[in-house]
Structure 1
Amino acid sequence: MVVVDKHSLANIAAIKSTHVAFELTADFDRHVLHGFVEITATVVAATTEFVLDTRALYIQKATIDGEHVLTTQVEDAVFGTALHLPLPESVRAVNSTFKARIYYETTPDTTAIQWLPKEQTADKTHPYLFTQSEAVHARALFPCQDVPSITTVFTAAITVPSWATCLMSAVASADPAPHASKPVTTFYYEQNVAVPSYLIALVVGRLDSREIGPRSRVWSEPSQVDAVAYEFAQTEDFLKNAETIMGQAYVWGRYDLVSLPPSFPFGGMENPCLTFATPTLIAGDRSLADVIAHEIAHSWTGNLITNETWEHFWLNEGWTMWLQRKIMAKIYTELHFDFDAILGWTALQSSVDAYGAAHEFTKLVPTLDGCDPDDAFSSVPYEKGFNFLYYLSKLV
C-alpha cells in the first residue's frame, strides 16, 4: 500500500532511503552545522527525480553517485522547501540504488537546533546545542524524507570544539579523535537499528558522565552530574521490567540519558540510545522518574514500531503510556497503574475542555490537512490512546 503523508514534500512513494551518513562540523561562532549528508536510496517506483524535505537550509551543491546535479527548490507555506535532485537515466528504474550527497549548512532560522549561549546553561561556562526533530523538524537539520514511515540506519562523524563532548542517538563507533593542528575533536557514531528521521538527534556541550548500570550512563553539565545519577538510578530496573513485560530484549545496546540545560522545553524525548531529559526531573527523591520509564517504553512502542503518519500519533503514545504504567506497577504495585491512569484521565479531560469537546484535535485520529503536527500536540493522543487500549484489554 502506498503511504500518503500530508506533512512531507518528498516523493516517498517512488524512493526509499535506507542509509544516511553525516559528516558535519558544529560552528558555535556562526551558530551553524556545516558539511554534507549522503543518503543511500532505492527506487521503488520509476521516477526522474529524488525529492527531499528541507527547511531553513542553505544548499551548496549535490551529487548523485559522485556526479554533480543541478538542484531546484520549491517552497511551501507550512512544510518547508522541497529539494529536487534530477536522477541520471541509469538509476531511474525500479530497484535501482544510488547515493545522493548534499553539501549544506543549517541557518539561524532552523527549527531543529537550539544554540544556547553559556548564560542559558546550568554551569554558565560554555555554550551548548541540542536538536529536537519530532515531529517534522528533521528537515531543518538535514535534507531527508522527513516521514515516520521511512526508517534508515545511519553513521556520523561530527566535529566539535575541543572543550565539548558530542552525543547522538546512536552508539559510539570509534574513540573521539582530536585534530592534530586545530582545537577540535571528531566524534564517531553509528545506529544499526533503522529509525525514522525524527529520532536522529545531537547534543554538543561541556559534559560529564557517570555509569548507573551495565548498559546505562547519565550525562549532564559537570555541576549536575551526581544529582542526575542519583535521580535516574532505577534505570536498569525499568529496562528489565520492560523486557519482561514485552517478552523481548532491549535491542538498542546502550540506554544512556542526558539531562539538558533548564531551557529544554520538554519533559523527555525518546531518542534511541540517548534519552533527552529536562533537569526539572531532578527532584532529589526520584518521584518524577516515571518520565524515564515512559522514554524507556518508547524503545519498543514508537522507536521499534512507529506510527505510519502523524495523524496516528496515538499509536506511539497510547501504547507507551500503557507500557510506562505497567513498568511502574512492577516497581510499586498494581494500584500504582490504576492511580496513574486516573491522573491521566484528569489530564485528558483538561485537554478536551480546553479545546472544546467537538474540536478536531480531541479525536483519536485527527485530520491534520495543511496543519503542522505540533499544533495538535496535547495529552489527547497519550491518554485517549491509553484509555482506548485499556478498554480493549477489558474485552479480551
Structure 2
Amino acid sequence: KYDPTSFCDPTAAKIQHINIDWTVDFEKKIVYGTVELSFNVLQDGVSSITLDSKDLTIKKVSYGETVLIHNLGDKHKVFGSPLEITLSAPFNKGDDLVIAIEYETSSNASALQWLDAQQTAGKKHPYMFSQCQAIHARSLLPCQDSPSVKATYTSKVTVEAPLVALMSAIQCWEKTGKSDKGEMVKTYKFDQKVPTPSYLIAIVVGLLESRDIGPRSKVWSEKEFIERAKDEFAETEKMLAAGEELVGPYVWGQYDLLVLPPSFPYGGMENPCLTFVTPTLLAGDRSLANVIAHEIAHSWTGNLVTNHTWEDFWLNEGHTVFLERKIMSKLQGEKTRHFQAQMGLSSLRYSIDTFGEDSPYTKLVIKLEDVDPDDSFSSVPYEKGHTLLFFLEELLGGPSVFEPFLLSYINKFKYQSVSTAQWKDHLYEFFVDKKSVLDTVDWNDWFNSPGMPKNIPKYDQTLSKECTALADKWAKASPEDFSKFKAKELDHFNSWQKMEFLGQLLLKDPLTKEKISAMEKLYGFSDSGNSEIKFRWLRLGLRAKATSMIKPALDMVVEQGRLKFTRPLYRDLGTWEESRNQAIECFMKHKPCMHSTTAGLIKKDLKI
C-alpha cells in the first residue's frame, strides 16, 4: 500500500483542492453538508476513486449533474471504511475531475469533541473542536487521509448565533442570518491557499473572544481565559521572527493561537493559521511558552514540509523540536538549548522504559501495518529525532554549518511531503564535500534500532549541574540529613531547573514517604501553578507510595486531559494497589467528558 494507514491510492488521482460547506448541529452533535473534491488525474483510464472515511453517512455522490455509484467497504477497527466511487466514464491523465459528496458525520466522530455548556468556562454555550492528527480527518470528511496528499481548501461554516467559528485558514467574512427554522445563525467563510494535508484541517466553534498579541497574531479563547492568555503568549512575534531568520519566510499569513478547554489531549496542535494550545500552558510566568515555539516551528517543519507517511513521523517532530530549541536559543541563549536537550533525554528515557527497550515503537522509523498511529505516539520521534539532528550538527561542524542545511531542506521540499530516504539523499547532496564524514554514521542503527540512541551529544551542563547535585543529595539523604536542606536552595532555580530537578529524581529509585513530606514542607511544590512542576511532583509522590498524593493526582487527571500528564498519572495510579480502584472509578465516571483519543489510550493503560 502507498500509505499503510490509508485506503487511498494518490498515484492514480490526487486531491488538489477541497471546497467545504458545513452546518454544525449541536443538538445532534454532528456536522453535515457537502464537500467538493477537485482531483489531479495522474494516470490514464482511472475508472474509480477510493477515499478514506470513518463512521460517515454518505447521502449522495455526484460528478456535475451525474449521480455516481458509491459503496462503503468493510469497516476496519482503526482505519474506518473505504469509500469506493465508480466514475461515469474513465478519466485520463490531466483531466479535470470534481466529485461532490453530500454527507453527515457520526455523533461519535473521533475527530470531534462536543462540550455541553456546563463543560465550558462560561457555562452558557456549547463548544466543539476538532483534532484530526493522525488519521481522524476521515471521520470529519471523506478525503485522501494521508500526509502525502496536500490540498488547498475553502470552506463555509454555519453555526448557531452568537457562536464563533474558526478554522485552520484565513477568515474571509462572516454574516448573520436565519436558518430554515427561523433561528439566528452566523456563517463564516475561510480560505487556505497553502496546500495542507488532511490532518491539518481544523475547526472550533464556541463563544470565543480575541486579543491582538502581535502584528500578525491574535489569541482566541473564552473570555474567562483571554487576559491571562494575552500576557502568557506576548512573545509570539519574537518567536516567529526568530523562525524566519533560521528557515525563511512564514508563508501562512496569520499566526493565531487558540486556548482550548482543558480536555484538549495535547500541549499544542500546529493547525495552520490557528495553533490550538492547552490551558495548562497558562503558568503565569511565560515559563511554558516553549510549546508555542514548537508549534511555530511546525509552520516550516511539518506543515510546509510534511512527513510522507506516519512511519516517518520523526521528520515532522524531530526537526520541529530541533528548530524550537534553535528559536529558544535566539531568545534565551545557547545554554538554554543545551539544557532543554538534556531534559528531553529524560522524556525519551521514560517513553522507552514504558514501551520496553526492544519495542519497535522506540525505533526512529517505525512500521504501521495494521497499527493505529495513536498507539505508537510518544516522545521517541521528538527526542530521538532531535538527538540525531544535534549529533549531525556537531559531527558536520556546528550550527554555522548545519543551519544552512535546514534552510535548504525547507526550500527544496516546501509544499511537499518527504520520506526518510529523500531526507537522507538531500543531506548527502548538500554536504557533498563531507561524504566521508556522513559515511561514518551508522544510519541503520539510528533509523531501525530500538532503545536509546548510542551516540548522545555531550550537552553543556551549566544549567543542569545544580539540578543534578541537589537531586543526588536528596536521593542519598537519610532522615537525619533533612535539616541540612534549606528552602532558599531553589530561590535561584528557574521553572525549567525545578522541572529538571524533579525529573532527575524520577529517574532514580523511588523516594521514601518521609522525603516527600520533608520536601513538601521546604519547597511547597503542591502549590505550584506550573503544570509541568506539579505533574512531576505528583508522580514522585505516587512512586513513594504517599497516600496524600492520591487525591491531588486524581484531581489533576480530571481537571485537564493533556496526554503528557494524564497517561503517566493514570499509569502510576493504576499500578499501585492502594489507588488502582480509585483510578478506575475516576476514569469510568469522567470518561464521557474525555476526548475519545484520551479515553481510548487510558483504557489500555489501565488494562480494563
TM-score bracket, normalised by the shorter chain, equals over 0.9
Tell me the TM-score normalised to structure 1 length: 0.97
What is the CA deviation profile of residues 35-64 of structure 1, one whole-angstrom value per residue up to 9, with x for unaligned ones? Answer: 000000021123210111000111111101
* Contact 1:167-1:202 within 8 A present in 2 as well: yes
Quick one: distance in 1 between partners of 2:80 and 2:63?
A: 23
In the other structure, the counterpart of 2:127 is 128
Question: Does residue 365 in structure 1 map to residue 362 in structure 2?
Answer: no
Q: Secondary structure of the residue that 1:25 maps to in structure 2?
A: strand
In the other structure, the counterpart of 2:184 is 183
Q: Secondary structure of the residue that 1:139 maps to in structure 2?
A: helix
Q: Structure 1: 5+ residue runs without aligned partners? A: none
In the other structure, the counterpart of 1:224 is 225
**Matched AA of 1:211:** D
Quick one: distance in 2 between partners of 1:261 and 1:344?
A: 27
* Contact 2:2-2:9 within 8 A present in 1 as well: no
Q: Structure 2: 5+ residue runs without aligned partners? A: 397-608
In the other structure, the counterpart of 1:208 is 209
In the other structure, the counterpart of 2:35 is 37
In the other structure, the counterpart of 1:7 is 5
In the other structure, the counterpart of 1:334 is 334
What is the CA deviation profile of residues 95-116 of structure 1, one whole-angstrom value per residue up to 9, with x for unaligned ones? Answer: 2121100000011121001011
Higher strand share: 1
**Matched AA of 1:241:** A
Q: Secondary structure of the residue that 2:326 maps to in structure 1?
A: helix
* Contact 1:116-1:127 within 8 A present in 2 as well: yes
Question: Does residue 54 in structure 1 map to residue 49 in structure 2?
Answer: no
* Contact 1:268-1:278 within 8 A present in 2 as well: yes
What is the CA deviation profile of residues 222-278 of structure 1, one whole-angstrom value per residue up to 9, with x for unaligned ones? Answer: 1111111000000000000000111x1111000001000111111100000000000
In the other structure, the counterpart of 1:172 is 171
Q: Offset of 1:13 from its aligned partner?
A: 2.1
In the other structure, the counterpart of 2:160 is 161
Q: Offset of 1:173 from its aligned partner?
A: 1.7
In the other structure, the counterpart of 1:325 is 325
**Matched AA of 1:375:** D
**Matched AA of 2:237:** E
How many residues of Structure 1 are paired with residues of Structure 2 in the alignment?
391
Quick one: distance in 1 between partners of 2:123 and 2:283?
A: 21
* Contact 1:120-1:262 within 8 A present in 2 as well: no
What is the CA deviation profile of residues 188-247 of structure 1, one whole-angstrom value per residue up to 9, with x for unaligned ones? Answer: 00000000000000000000110011000000001111111000000000000000111x
**Matched AA of 2:203:** L
* Contact 1:122-1:262 within 8 A present in 2 as well: no
Q: Secondary structure of the residue that 1:129 maps to in structure 2?
A: strand
In the other structure, the counterpart of 2:504 is none
Superposition map of 1:1-396 within 5 A: 4-45=2-43, 46-77=45-76, 78-89=78-89, 91-174=90-173, 176-180=174-178, 181-246=182-247, 248-396=248-396
What is the CA deviation profile of residues 129-162 of structure 1, one whole-angstrom value per residue up to 9, with x for unaligned ones? Answer: 0000000000000000000001000000000011
Q: State the percentage of identical aligned residues.
A: 47
**Matched AA of 1:186:** T
Q: Offset of 1:291 from its aligned partner?
A: 0.3
**Matched AA of 1:244:** E
Q: Secondary structure of the residue that 2:213 maps to in structure 1?
A: strand
**Matched AA of 1:142:** L
Larger Rg: 2
The Cα RMSD (Å) is 1.0
Quick one: distance in 2 between partners of 1:334 and 1:228?
A: 27
Q: Secondary structure of the residue that 2:288 maps to in structure 1?
A: coil
* Contact 2:267-2:277 within 8 A present in 1 as well: yes
Quick one: distance in 2 between partners of 1:258 and 1:66?
A: 40
Q: Secondary structure of the residue that 1:7 maps to in structure 2?
A: coil
Q: Secondary structure of the residue that 1:394 maps to in structure 2?
A: helix
- Give the number of the structure with larger relative contact order, counting CA–CA contacts within 8 Å between residues 6 or more apart: 1
Q: Secondary structure of the residue that 1:163 maps to in structure 2?
A: coil
**Matched AA of 1:150:** V
**Matched AA of 1:123:** G
* Contact 1:120-1:263 within 8 A present in 2 as well: no
What is the CA deviation profile of residues 2-48 of structure 1, one whole-angstrom value per residue up to 9, with x for unaligned ones? Answer: x8100001122211000000000000111010100000002112321
Q: Offset of 1:88 from its aligned partner?
A: 2.1
**Matched AA of 1:270:** E
Quick one: distance in 2 between partners of 1:266 and 1:354?
A: 19
**Matched AA of 1:76:** K
Q: Offset of 1:75 from its aligned partner?
A: 2.1
Quick one: distance in 1 between partners of 2:113 and 2:193?
A: 26
* Contact 2:69-2:87 within 8 A present in 1 as well: no
